[in-house]
Amino acid sequence: MRRGSWRVRILIGLAIVAFAFVRRCSNQEENPYTGRVQNIDMSAEQEIAIGLQSAPEMAQQHGGLYPDERMQSLVDAVGNKLVKSSIARETPYQYDFHLLADDRTINAFALPGGQIFITYALFSQLTEAQLAGVLGHEIGHVIGRHSAERIAESSFWQTLATGASVGGDMGSLVSGIGQNTLLKNGRGDELESDELGVLFMIQSGYDPHEMIKVMEILKAAAGPNRVPEFQSTHPDPENRIDKIKEAIQKYSGR
């Protein structure tokens, strides 16, 4: 009797694991803007809805929007120029650039679907071309569908962990692997966004070498007073500079 229930548990566990893999395979699609094959289980409309829904809360968490309209319109002008000059224009996403009042946390980030944020702390350190680099990078996250990909990835690992914990004591091991995969993806996301950012800068008439300066500014910011939010969302500034140089070579030759 005990043996039987053990077998049933293994079978249910395996079924859940199989379900996770089948769903993962059926969710594979090629990103039409980057050409990369991704696991995603939501539409562009859903991405836009998630972004729009979370945007006010994101702004709230950073002390709201920056009150000076002139600064905000500068951010809009640079952001819109990048969108108009690049493939971003052909995507279904609704780009919106928000300058946040936060003057302490050096950060910029994108929600799925096109809601893009930059803190005043970072904005105030940048020239126009460098701002284009930061916003171009964030547009890269939107077009690369990195949030949607990570959501799909985490639901895959959750299902796998569920299957493993039903079937045996492997649950924690599998969730450990899941965590690592998320971190690795995070790094790949940054490099893809940097490359797209460089391309968008060139297409909009900005000097892409300014992206290297952005990395130096970010590196200096992560120095003695490490900002955890920044570190976690933008890992490895050193390694990124080499890849940015490669991207400049690649796209400047065109």
Which stretches of the chain bind Zn ion, using CB under 5 A? 190, 193
Q: Which are the contacts of 102, defined by CB distance < 8 A and separation ≥ 6? A: 62, 63, 119, 120, 121
Chain-centre distance of CA 174, in angstroms?
24
C-beta of 147 vs 193, nearer to Zn ion: 193
Answer yes or no: are the C-beta atoms of 51 and 111 closer than 8 Å: yes
Per DSSP, the three-state class of 181 is helix
C-beta of 111 vs 161, nearer to Zn ion: 111
Q: How many CB atoms neighbour CB 73 within 10 A? A: 12
Q: How many CB atoms neighbour CB 119 within 10 A? A: 24
C-beta of 39 vs 189, nearer to Zn ion: 189
C-beta of 149 vs 190, nearer to Zn ion: 190
CB of 190 to Zn ion, least distance (A): 5
CB of 67 to Zn ion, least distance (A): 26
C-beta of 107 vs 204, nearer to Zn ion: 107
How far apart (Å, rounded) are the C-alpha atoms in residues 75 and 217? 18
Per DSSP, the three-state class of 184 is helix
Q: What one-character DSSP code corresponds to residue 144? A: T
CB of 39 to Zn ion, least distance (A): 20
C-beta of 13 vs 144, nearer to Zn ion: 144
Per DSSP, the three-state class of 95 is coil
CB of 233 to Zn ion, least distance (A): 6
CB of 193 to Zn ion, least distance (A): 5
CB of 199 to Zn ion, least distance (A): 15
Residue 252 has phi, psi (to 5 degrees) of -70, -25
